Copies of this chain bind each other. A is one copy, B any other.
Amino acid sequence: MLSFTEENYLKTLFQLTIESNEKLEAGTNEIAAHLGVKPASANDMLKKLKDKKLIHYEKYGKSTLTKEGRKYALEIVRKHRLWETFLYEKLEFSWDEVHEVAEQLEHIQSKKLIDKLDKFLDYPEVDPHGDAIPNAKGELEISQRKSLLEEEIGHACKMVGVKDNSAAFLQYVDSIGLSINQTIRIKAKEEFDDLLEIEVNGKKNRVSPKFAENIIITCSECNKLRKN
C-alpha cells in the first residue's frame, strides 16, 4: 500500500510525462516544483520510489514511471476524475471548484467504493474538464488534444477545454452554445479573413482564429488516422 505522499509523486510523474504532449520524462526540480516541495525532498522520494520499482531513475538523470508505477498512477487519476465528475454532476460544484476537493478524495482507499461510484455515475468517459477517465482495468484513451484552430476542415471534434480561463472569454464561449463535450464540426475556412465556419448543435457560427486557438478539442477521426 502506498502512502498519500508516494501517490502524489506518482500522479505528478504521470502528468509530467505520459499526459504531457511535450516530454516523456521529468527532471527532479520540475517534479519538486509541481508538488510544491524542495528539490532535496523530491530527490529523497525519487530514490525511494526507484527502490520500490515504481519509477526509472538514475543519479543526475530524468525520471519516468515503470509499468507498475503507471498502474498505480492510473488508479489515482481514475479516482481523481471520477470524484470530479461526482462533485460536478451530483453535488453541483462548479467546474473550477472540483479539483481541490478531488485532490483529497483521490486518496481514499477502497476499490469497492470507486467501482460503485463509477457505476453510480454511469461509467463516464470524461471528467468535467474533458479529461479522459481510465476505466476499471486501467486503460486510458490518451486522446490527442489540440486547439480548434489546428483541426482539419470537414472533421467533427469534441471540445474538451479552454486555454483562456477569463470570465470574458468563457461567457463568449457560452454565448455561441459551446460547452464541454459539445461536438463541433468544421464546415469551412474563410480565405478572405481566416474566420472558421463551425457548426454547434445544428447552429452555424463564424469564429476568429484567436477564438479557435483558445478552444481545446480532441478529434477521434484524427486519432484513428494516427493509429494506422
Which positions in A face B, CB cutoff 8 Å? 87, 90-93, 97, 100-101, 104-105, 108-110, 112-113, 116-117, 120
Contact = CB atoms under 8 A, between A and B. Distances in A.
Contacts of A90: 120
Contact of A87 (B93, B105, B113): B113
Contact of A108 (B92, B101, B113, B116): B101
Given A87-B116, A100-B110, A101-B108, 6 more contacts: A91-B117, A91-B120, A92-B116, A93-B112, A93-B116, A104-B109
Contacts of A116: 87, 91-93
A113 B86 CA distance: 11
A85 B33 CA distance: 39
Contacts of A105: 105, 108
A215 to B, nearest CB: 29
Contact of A91 (B87, B104, B113): B113
Given A91-B116, A116-B91, A108 B97 contact: no
